[in-house]
């Protein structure tokens, strides 16, 4: 997976309906619109279309809307959760708990009209715990990157 290559807009592995069958998140907290590449337990490439209709723009910041960095990280974590759940026979019976972040850097603001490309790769998986590295890009420009930790647990 090369996160800097343009995404093929017609290629959809999981649409938002399939994503909601896997993730427990719902509006306004589902932050992945589509998965365009998925290799379970290895890598995932997802998309998040950022619109002015996002509820967080009301207060962050009035007159100068910027997507909160913590929500960019949450979008990466959700994409990572989809990568983990893709390895399960019954993904609906599992939950992915985000357990930590390290080495996070924000490189550019994310604003309405941007499309976030969410690239997450598995670094290490042992038992039900994993470390992943995620990058969020806008127009092939790095917006955010960091190391994410998660646990895969029974519901």
CA distance 115 to 87: 27
Give 87-111 as a DSSP string. Answer: T-S-GGGEEEEEEEEEEEEE-S---
CA distance 116 to 33: 10
Catalytic site includes residue 60: yes
Per-residue exposure over 80-93, b if at least 16 CB sit within 10 Å of its own CB, e if not: bbbbbbbeeeebee
Q: Which helix (H) or strand (E) holds 80?
A: helix 69-85
Check 25, 60, 64, 133 and give the catalytic one.
60
Catalytic residues: 60
């Amino acid at each position: 997976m090369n996160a800097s290559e343009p995404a093929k807009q017609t290629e959809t592995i999981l649409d938002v309906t399939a994503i909601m069958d896997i993730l427990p998140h719902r509006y306004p907290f589902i932050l992945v619109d589509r998965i365009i590449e998925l290799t379970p337990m290895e890598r995932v490439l997802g998309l998040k279309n950022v619109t002015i209709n996002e509820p967080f723009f009301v207060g962050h910041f009035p007159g100068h809307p910027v997507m909160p960095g913590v929500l960019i990280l949450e979008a990466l974590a959700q994409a990572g959760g989809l990568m983990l759940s893709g390895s399960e026979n019954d993904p609906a019976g599992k939950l992915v708990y985000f357990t930590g972040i390290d080495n996070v850097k924000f490189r550019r603001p994310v604003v309405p009209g941007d499309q976030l490309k969410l690239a997450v790769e598995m670094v290490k998986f042992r038992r039900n715990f994993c470390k992943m590295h995620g990058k969020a890009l806008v127009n092939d420009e790095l917006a955010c990157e960091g190391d994410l930790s998660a646990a895969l647990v029974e519901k």
